[in-house]
């Protein structure tokens, strides 16, 4: 009996909650709500709050959650790829270097999505249509979607008022698509790491059981 007890990496509850909250908001806003609808806008703002919370946590949270634990470093990412190719398994206290790059990419595209969304609706979103320079068509629609918004998940070419509105909408859609691509890559990365190193990486984000595991 070795008796050595290893505490597997486990994300703290704030990281887990913001992670799954943001993931849920992205999925809901993509699949369920209609772009420009009141629900879409408020879910987006809730997402922004969760992202802000996570970013603040990156300064004051536990060591593993801090930015300093996973600096964006292409050099270390390359090293990490070498480790993978050589079949070495180096354990990282926080995100592995490739994962760290993915995290920052996801955050950056989330920030662009949020910023362009706010650029379209203003903050606070113009719930009260009076006085807004862009009167909402229906009481629940904040951003005018195209009349024939039958295509896709309601993300047709909207015609927001003004040049800047159109640019914001364009940016919003591109960034949202980029976000989905990154999220898909993120899932691939997790699946790959799971095959390489076991289910620990998933359990760390789910939490709960498996706090102390014998090797």
Partner 1 sequence: MAQPRPARSRALLGDRLAPAVSFVVAVQAVAAVFFIGDALADIRNAGLSSHIAIEAVIALALLAGVAVGALQVRRMWKEGRRRQAALAVAAGALSEVAAQRFREWRLTPAEADVAIFALKGFDVAEIASLRGSAAGTVRAQLARVYEKAGVNSRSALATLFLEDLMTTPLTSREAP
Q: Is 14 in the site for partner 1 (CB under 8 A)?
A: yes
Q: Which stretch binds partner 1 (CB under 8 A): 10-18, 85-93, 103-111, 189-197?
A: 10-18
Cα(139)–Cα(123) distance, rounded to whole angstroms? 17
The smaller minimum CB distance to partner 1, of residues 61 and 189, is found at 61
Considering only residues 173-192, where is the footprint of partner 1 by CB under 8 A? none
For residue 183, what are the contacts with CB-CB under 8 A and spacing of at least 6?
A: 23, 26, 106
Q: Does 50 bind partner 1 (CB under 8 A)?
A: yes
Least Å from the CB of residue 131 to partner 1:
7
91 binds partner 1 (CB under 8 A): no
To which H or E segment does residue 32 belong?
none
Determine the interface stretch with partner 1 among 38-46, 68-76, 95-103, 133-141 (rule: CB under 8 A).
Answer: 38-46
12 contacts partner 1 (rule: CB under 8 A)? yes
Give the torsion sign (CA, 20, 111, 170, 187): negative
**Window contacting partner 1 (CB under 8 A); options: 7-15, 87-95, 100-108, 147-155:** 7-15
Tell me: does residue 212 bind partner 1 (CB under 8 A): yes
Q: How far is the CB of 126 from partner 1 (least distance, A)?
A: 8
Sign of CA dihedral 37, 39, 43, 46: positive
Residues 6+ apart with CB under 8 A from 2: 214, 215
Where in 111-140 is the site for partner 1 (CB under 8 A)?
Answer: 123-128, 130-131
Tokens of 210: 């498996």
Which of 34, 62, 78, 185 is close enough to bind partner 1 by CB under 8 A?
62
For residue 214, the cross-strand partners are: none
The reply to whether 21 sits near partner 1 by the rule CB under 8 A is yes
- State phi, psi for 147 to the nearest 5 degrees: -65, -40
Q: If binding is defined by CB under 8 A, does position 16 make contact with partner 1?
A: yes
What length is written for the chain? 215
Pick one of 27, 32, 56, 188: the residue that binds partner 1 (CB under 8 A): 56
Q: What angle do CA 111, 117, 118 make, to 5 degrees?
A: 90
Sign of the dihedral through C-alpha 49, 162, 149, 140: positive
d(CA 155, CA 29): 11
Which parts of this chain interact with partner 1 (CB under 8 A)? 1-7, 12-14, 16-18, 21, 42, 45-46, 48-50, 52-53, 56-57, 60-62, 123-128, 130-131, 207, 211-212
């Amino acid at each position: 009996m070795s008796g050595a007890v290893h505490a597997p990496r486990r994300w703290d509850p704030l990281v887990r909650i913001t992670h799954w909250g943001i993931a849920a908001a992205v999925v809901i806003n993509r699949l369920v709500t209609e772009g420009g609808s009141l629900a879409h806008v408020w879910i987006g703002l809730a997402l922004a709050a969760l992202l802000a919370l996570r970013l603040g946590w990156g300064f004051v949270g536990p060591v593993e959650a801090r930015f300093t634990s996973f600096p964006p470093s292409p050099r270390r990412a390359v090293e990490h790829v070498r480790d993978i190719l050589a079949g070495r398994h180096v354990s990282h206290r926080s995100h592995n270097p490739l994962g760290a790059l993915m995290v920052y990419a996801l955050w950056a595209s989330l920030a662009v999505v949020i910023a362009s969304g706010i650029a379209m609706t203003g903050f606070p979103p113009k719930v009260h249509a009076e006085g807004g320079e862009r009167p909402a068509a229906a009481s629940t629609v904040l951003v005018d979607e195209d009349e024939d918004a039958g295509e896709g998940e309601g993300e047709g070419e909207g015609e927001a008022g003004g040049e800047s509105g159109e640019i914001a909408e364009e940016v919003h859609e591109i960034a949202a698509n980029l976000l989905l691509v990154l999220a898909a890559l993120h899932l691939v990365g997790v699946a790959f790491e799971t095959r390489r190193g076991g289910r620990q990486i998933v359990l760390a984000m789910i939490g709960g059981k498996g706090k102390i595991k014998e090797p």
